[in-house]
Amino acid sequence: MNFCSQCGQNVRFAIPEGDDRPRFLCDDCGTIHYQNPRIVAGTLAISGNKVLLCRRAIAPRKGYWTLPAGFMENAETTVEAAARETREEACADVDIHDLYTMINLPHIDQVFMIFRADLKGSFEAGPESLEVALFDEHEVPWDELAFPTIERTLQHFFLDRENAHYPLHISDITPEDRERYFGSA
């Protein structure tokens, strides 16, 4: 950020008085510009023993498989965002149950919130997907998953499915986890 969105003057990056983190500050009008993490909401849509995956048609990780998920919009709940993303990416309707994984990615300012859901009816590739398909555990293209959050969610699901018990899983993805997944860039 170079300029204040309130008055157009230059901003500086510093710790405001009484705060503990650097923020963009406008010395002219006094505005403190807070920046917050982005929430990614989506579904682990299930049909029988299979999960719905989408092959990405957009960057990043175009051509890799993911759960239907994306950035939450203003004026919607996390459940609404998860359902909307599933409709957009897989043209699918779902019955959403509960929050299943919440994965923090503080190094890229994101929080992933994936809800368990039952797939209702048909599905097809939306504009952000090259294709969509249902996969059982042995069919999942594990080496072609787009993000470590997706792999972690699927691993939890297939383990939890054995006991038919689906607790909330909260975890973090660190820069080291990301490097192991993507390699050093």
Is 113 inside any structural domain? yes
**Packed helices 148-161 and 175-182: angle between N→C axes, nearest 10 degrees:** 90
Amino acid 102: pLDDT: 98
Domain-embedded: residue 7: no
**Helix and strand element counts for the chain (H, E):** 3, 11
Q: Is residue 93 part of a domain?
A: yes
Low-confidence stretches of the chain (pLDDT < 70) are 178, 180-185
| 115 neighbors 79 (Cβ within 8 angstroms) | yes
Residue 93, domain extent: 38-182
161 inside domain: yes
Share the mean pLDDT of the chain: 95
Asked if 40 contacts 113 with a C-beta cutoff of 8 angstroms, the reply is: yes
The whole-angstrom separation of Cα 11 and Cα 68 is 38
Tokens of 144: 């072609």
- What is the total count of domains within the chain? 1
DSSP state string for 127-154: TTEEEEEEE-GGGS-GGGBS-HHHHHHH
> Does residue 33 lie in a domain region?
no
For residue 13, being part of any structural domain is answered with no
Residue 45 domain-assigned?
yes
CATH number at residue 81: 3.90.79.10
Work out the percent of the chain whose per-residue pLDDT is above 70.
Answer: 96
Residue found under tokens 């398909």: 133
Let me know: does 92 contact 120? Beta carbons within 8 Å. Answer: yes
The answer to whether residue 141 is domain-embedded is yes
Give the whole-angstrom CA distance, residue 142 versus residue 97.
Answer: 25
How confident is the model over 18-45, as pLDDT tens digits? 999 999 999 999 999 998 899 999 999 9
